[in-house]
Amino acid sequence: MAEHSILFEGGWHDEERGDSFSFRWMTREARLIVKGLRAPGTAYLRVITDCPFSHKKPVVLEVLANDAATGKRDIHNKWTSFFFPFPKEPEVPFTFRLDRTHMAPGDTRELGIKVRDVAVIDISEMEMYGEGWYPEERMTTALPFRWMAREAVCFLHDDHARSDRYLEIRCGHPFSSARQPALTVAVNGEKVGTRLVGPGEQNYYFPIGSQPCDLRIDLSLDRTFPSSVTQDSRQLGVMVRDIAIHHASEGDFFFAEGWYQQESSDLLSCRWMKKEARLLVPEERRAGNRFLSLWISSEFENLSQRLSVFVNGASIGEIELLHGWNYYSLEMGPADHGQKKHLLSLIHPKVPERPLPHHTCELRLAANKPYPARYHAQDGRELSVRVSEVAFHDNEQVHRNSQSLHKNAILNYREMSNGATRLKSHPLNLGIDLYGVCNIKPHCVYCIWDWGKEMEGPNTHAMVDDATLKGYGPFFQNARSLVNCSIGEPLLHPRLREIVELCEREKKILEISTNGQALNAKTVAVLLGKRVTVYVSLDAARKETYARIRNDRWDEIIPQLRLLGQQRKDHGNLPRIFMVFMPMRVNRGDLEDFFRLSRDINADAVVLRPLCDIGERRVRMERSGYLFDYEREILSSEELAEIFAESGMHAQKYGVPVYNQFHFGGRREQSG
């Protein structure tokens, strides 16, 4: 701090010598003047006090700067530092006023409190933890923490004043049976939120917007834990591990409380949500947008899981969640740019309404029930749904389509569970046939090409493109996924880009099976960042095996797959790459290498797909010195069981999940 002087005026007794430092007694009212500060920044007057008469009831100290109140503090019988805001003026008179004084035996003076070391401190030079903290502690090898009393203050300095900054407080307590304290936080005198602090430890986030870089953080609890609970004579509130400023990615939704780290899934990169969670985003992101959209995946197939959505405290709807990944759009009502009253804390319903500060928009999501733990015993977390791609939008048509799709899906489920046979609803998934031509000639050894083309007849060369898909009307509009089942190679389609873009625009999930030989710079560019699941029919992990099933283009296809796997990292890991392995006699020795290869090319999963029973048809074909006899290639149930067990082990070893299509239509396992 720059040169300055502190002059003690009326109301102070003479300086005395204590055991290790000097101090002064104060009378009921005393004055001091701070002089000589040139261009003071954000600063505080630090006063260290003690009052030996406060055993039963603390003496109350009120401090006025320039005759304006700056704060009141309870002074206990313990040397404690207090901080009072320092006005940005070169000369400031301070008045110290007490609620009572005492007379000590054998001392004729009027005694108030003892004061030592009055100083002006610039915030950037201050200790982070101010008043209301107990000394740092450490439990075994864990990181240090400090207990907070009922009220505490800390100081932070941040050089990046921008709108999407959040105060991150990592805290908790070990008392699960006691009533949870509510923590209220104020930044530079403005309340920014209240959160119930539960047992255990977690991060709590508070919007601080573009506040000045020097922050005074006031924390207060509605209660502390009684000594009977803590077995500690101190007044203990919560354990605070860390307080910091968190900078969110500019403009993005910030996943605050109730979320786990981003992870991969069968379709989208996502986060698992606890039963309840909050997101924060600068209010300006919402401006002009009427709708909130998000992708949600529920594990419940019976529509019994619901998600309530609140924007700035106001409910905008309760979603009856469909099974798996689905796109939802909800109407929000007009943006109020922070002027309207909002619920300050939505995690804690009893907290009174207050405006959310700093033009921050808050989304709260609350599931009516969790994903039961017995279905994910290997993952001990509290889980409800997976969420991805939260966004605002203003596309009325997309909103209407999503509503229609959702309504149809619910009707479809009701009809199915009620045993209806003539349906009013439309299908949820549409099997499509994009292209009837293939680039592998002669065709793959297990492909019943000739039979398929005979069945297709003149339709083989019929055009099926984006216009055809739109022409399916409600069948297209109400489908959440389009699954290409063509006997042909879809990546050769002349309007592949238009088809993929239509699906992307209409929020459809597109699934295509490809031999991968048409993957090149052009087709990879079409697929990057799109919600497409690409099933790559490889069936081999070695050049020799591949040649026995398809042809000698192994050395061309693998680099293209690696390129796709690499490039999609910058596009939200989309498209999804599923490596298809049809267990047969010809590739029986390739299984482990197939998992290794899948890991190496950054694939999402290995898919075990059955070699179909083709009835009476006989398929025999010689390829690369190997006689492929379809009937002989089908493995026995015992051999398949071995493969499934091995696949489970390889999936663990190589970190690539396995999806087994042999279990199509089966029930999900429960553990325990």
Partner 1 sequence: MLKTRKGARADVLRDDRLPLCREPWETCYILRRGIIPCCYGAAIEKQMSNWADAWNSAEMVEIRRRLSRGELSDYCLQTLSCPIVQRALAMRAAQSQRKSFVQRAIKKLLRMAGFSSATRA
Q: Does 668 bind partner 1 (CB under 8 A)?
A: yes
What's the distance, CA 382 to chain centroid? 14
Closer CB to partner 1, 140 or 302, in the complex: 302
Q: Does 463 bind partner 1 (CB under 8 A)?
A: no
Q: Which of 107, 242, 301, 379 binds partner 1 (CB under 8 A)?
A: 301
CB of 450 to partner 1, least distance (A): 13
CB of 69 to partner 1, least distance (A): 59
CB of 305 to partner 1, least distance (A): 9
Q: Extract the tokens encoding 36.
A: 């000589």
Q: Does 299 bind partner 1 (CB under 8 A)?
A: yes
Q: Does 638 bind partner 1 (CB under 8 A)?
A: no
Q: Which of 462, 467, 525, 627 binds partner 1 (CB under 8 A)?
A: 462
User: What is the sign, positive or negative, of the torsion defined by CA atoms of 277, 280, 283, 286?
Assistant: negative
Q: Does 421 bind partner 1 (CB under 8 A)?
A: yes
Whether the ω angle into residue 575 lies within 30 degrees of 0, i.e. cis, is yes
Q: Which of 266, 284, 415, 600 binds partner 1 (CB under 8 A)?
A: 415
Q: Does 529 bind partner 1 (CB under 8 A)?
A: no
Q: CA geometry: angle at 629 spanning 628 and 635, to 5°?
A: 100
CB of 644 to partner 1, least distance (A): 13
Q: Does 377 bind partner 1 (CB under 8 A)?
A: no
Q: CA geometry: angle at 353 spanning 349 and 359, to 5°?
A: 110
* 3-class DSSP state of 597: helix
Q: Does 466 bind partner 1 (CB under 8 A)?
A: no
Q: Does 626 bind partner 1 (CB under 8 A)?
A: no
CB of 552 to partner 1, least distance (A): 29
Tracing tokens 């010598």 back to the chain, one arrives at 17
Q: Extract the tokens encoding 62.
A: 């009120």
- Residue ranges in 480-499 that form contacts with partner 1 under rule CB under 8 A: 483, 485-487
CB of 670 to partner 1, least distance (A): 6
Closer CB to partner 1, 164 or 299, in the complex: 299
Q: What is the DSSP letter of 259?
A: B
Q: Does 427 bind partner 1 (CB under 8 A)?
A: yes
Residues 6+ apart with CB under 8 A from 16: 22, 23, 24, 25
What would the x/- binding string for partner 1 be over residues 302 to 331, using CB under 8 A? x-x---------------------------
**Alpha carbons 106 and 39: distance in angstroms, whole number:** 47
**Alpha carbons 119 and 43: distance in angstroms, whole number:** 10
Q: Does 452 bind partner 1 (CB under 8 A)?
A: yes
Q: Does 386 bind partner 1 (CB under 8 A)?
A: no
* 3-class DSSP state of 407: helix
**Alpha carbons 265 and 413: distance in angstroms, whole number:** 24
Q: What is the DSSP letter of 179?
A: P
Tracing tokens 């279990």 back to the chain, one arrives at 663
Q: Does 583 bind partner 1 (CB under 8 A)?
A: no
CB of 475 to partner 1, least distance (A): 7
CB of 603 to partner 1, least distance (A): 22
Give the start-end residues of each E strand in 158-225.
165-173, 182-187, 190-196, 200-207, 214-221
Closer CB to partner 1, 328 or 435, in the complex: 435
CB of 298 to partner 1, least distance (A): 9
Pair type for strands 532-537 and 576-581: parallel
Q: Extract the tokens encoding 440.
A: 């592998």
CB of 473 to partner 1, least distance (A): 8
409, with CB counted inside 10 A (0-12, 13-18, 19+), is: buried
Q: Extract the tokens encoding 174.
A: 């070990």
Whether the ω angle into residue 442 lies within 30 degrees of 0, i.e. cis, is yes
- Which among 128, 136, 133, 138 has a CA at the least distance from the CA of 148? 133
Q: Does 420 bind partner 1 (CB under 8 A)?
A: yes
190 with 161: CB under 8 angstroms? no
Q: Does 2 bind partner 1 (CB under 8 A)?
A: no
Closer CB to partner 1, 16 or 301, in the complex: 301
- Which segment (21-29, 324-332, 459-467, 497-505) binds partner 1 by CB under 8 A? 459-467
* 3-class DSSP state of 560: helix
CB of 521 to partner 1, least distance (A): 29
Q: What is the DSSP letter of 442?
A: S
CB of 478 to partner 1, least distance (A): 11
Q: Which of 234, 337, 374, 505 binds partner 1 (CB under 8 A)?
A: 374
Long-range contacts of 537-540 (CB under 8 A, 24+ apart): 537/444, 537/513, 537/580, 537/582, 538/579, 538/580, 538/581, 538/594, 539/580, 539/581, 539/582, 539/584, 539/587, 540/587, 540/590, 540/594
Q: CA geometry: angle at 148 spanning 194 and 85, to 5°?
A: 75
φ and ψ at residue 514, rounded to 5 degrees: -140, 155
Q: Does 300 bind partner 1 (CB under 8 A)?
A: yes
φ and ψ at residue 573, rounded to 5 degrees: 55, 35
Q: Does 378 bind partner 1 (CB under 8 A)?
A: no
Q: Does 17 bind partner 1 (CB under 8 A)?
A: no
**Alpha carbons 242 and 164: distance in angstroms, whole number:** 20
20 with 13: CB under 8 angstroms? no
Q: Which amino acid is at 251?
A: G
- Which segment (45-53, 430-438, 501-509, 547-555) binds partner 1 by CB under 8 A? 430-438
* 3-class DSSP state of 491: helix
Closer CB to partner 1, 138 or 668, in the complex: 668
What would the x/- binding string for partner 1 be over residues 599 to 618, using CB under 8 A? -----------x-xxxx---
Q: Does 666 bind partner 1 (CB under 8 A)?
A: yes
Instruction: Report, in angstroms and rounded to the nearest whole number, the Rg of the chain calculated over CA atoms.
Output: 34
Closer CB to partner 1, 197 or 434, in the complex: 434
# of chain residues touching partner 1 (CB under 8 A): 54
Closer CB to partner 1, 93 or 452, in the complex: 452
Closer CB to partner 1, 227 or 429, in the complex: 429
Query: Which residue ranges make up the site for partner 1 (CB under 8 A)?
Result: 299-302, 304, 372, 374-375, 412, 415-417, 419-423, 426-433, 436, 452, 455-457, 459-460, 462, 464, 472, 475, 483, 485-487, 610, 612-615, 661-668, 670
